[in-house]
């Protein structure tokens, strides 16, 4: 039995029953799940994913709506720029690939908002290809079980891709299965602060356990504060705009946060990110919500 075989055998018995893993799940559904799962736990993603796929089961369905609808549907999932990227990605898939998510890695990497991890995840989990799919969970499993380290580095490096690729079986289908197994192990067993070592398929062979090293003191990553940050203020501003039925005047947005400087900074950030647009001189809308320009009656010319 190889490292990958042990991981696959464990996964076959212990994998979580997640909707985007069901047989017949489309590549578009896998892509949406991967974008939503970035920096967001499964428990919050699952209902949002179900609602999103019910409304926009294909890239063409999403591309046909304005980006403001994607932002509204994103709700309070966090990091709403991901909604904009998904909308831009859907439009690119329709324009470049006839509405079908491409299966070529380079074409996936060329899509808006699709990076190294997401492209490989879609190629592997949706199309069953052989690629190293490396996130923080996979890095942690490899660092501990193979390299004997208590934790992995904060970011994926080319060396990480090489290390994981060397662990994948040559058989393409089993390689794809191994990739999801490594990830699942890191997510629910080989966790950052409370690893469940007795339940791990590598309990007797783990290089880190053999060293006898303890986990380092404190969290491996400093948790991000939310309360009182610009992120919280941005979320409050977006919440007003998501539920508005028309342009929102500045004085209405002024009511959501007392600190004028921070509120102005958060609003400026939303405008810069393209999530919000200025209508006229003092009204605000979600991106794509601008009313159509009234046609000019025949025989009249627009003012100079």
Provide the annotated active-site residues. Answer: 34
Long-range contact pairs involving 74-79 (C-beta distance under 8 Å, separation at least 24): 74/48, 75/48, 75/242, 76/235, 76/239, 77/36, 77/40, 77/44, 77/45, 77/48, 78/39, 78/40, 78/235, 79/38, 79/39, 79/40
Taking only Cα atoms into account, the Rg of the chain, rounded to an integer number of angstroms, comes to 23
Here the tokens at position 268 are 């400026």
Helix 3-14 × helix 172-188 angle, to 10°: 70
Asked if 84 contacts 70 with a C-beta cutoff of 8 angstroms, the reply is yes
Q: Which DSSP helix (H) or strand (E) runs through 249? A: strand 248-249
Asked if 179 contacts 9 with a C-beta cutoff of 8 angstroms, the reply is no
């Amino acid at each position: 039995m190889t490292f990958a075989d042990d991981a696959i055998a464990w996964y076959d018995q212990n994998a979580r029953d997640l909707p985007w893993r069901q047989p017949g799940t489309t590549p578009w559904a896998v892509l949406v799940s991967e974008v939503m799962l970035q920096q967001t736990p499964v428990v919050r993603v699952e209902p949002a994913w179900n609602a999103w796929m019910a409304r926009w089961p294909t890239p063409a369905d999403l591309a046909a709506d304005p980006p403001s609808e994607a932002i509204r549907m994103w709700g309070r999932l966090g990091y709403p720029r991901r909604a904009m990227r998904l909308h831009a990605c859907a439009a690119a898939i329709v324009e470049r690939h006839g509405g079908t998510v491409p299966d070529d890695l380079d074409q996936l990497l060329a899509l808006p908002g699709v990076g190294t991890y997401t492209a490989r995840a879609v190629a592997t989990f949706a199309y069953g290809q052989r690629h190293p799919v490396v996130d923080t969970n996979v890095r942690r499993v490899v660092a501990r079980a193979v390299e004997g380290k208590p934790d992995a580095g904060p970011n994926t490096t080319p060396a990480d891709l090489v290390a994981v690729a060397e662990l994948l079986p040559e058989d393409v289908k089993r390689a794809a299965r191994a990739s999801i197994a490594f990830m699942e192990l890191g997510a629910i067993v080989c966790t950052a602060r409370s690893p469940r070592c007795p339940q791990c398929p590598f309990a007797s062979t783990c290089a880190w356990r053999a060293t006898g090293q303890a986990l380092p003191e404190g969290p491996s990553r400093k948790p991000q504060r939310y309360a009182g940050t610009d992120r919280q203020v941005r979320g409050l501003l977006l919440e007003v705009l998501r539920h508005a039925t028309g342009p929102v005047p500045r004085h209405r947005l002024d009511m959501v946060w007392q600190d004028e400087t921070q509120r102005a900074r958060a609003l400026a950030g939303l405008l810069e990110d393209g999530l919000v647009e200025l209508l006229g001189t003092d009204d605000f809308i979600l991106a794509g919500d601008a009313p159509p320009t009234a046609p000019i009656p025949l025989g009249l010319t627009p003012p100079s």
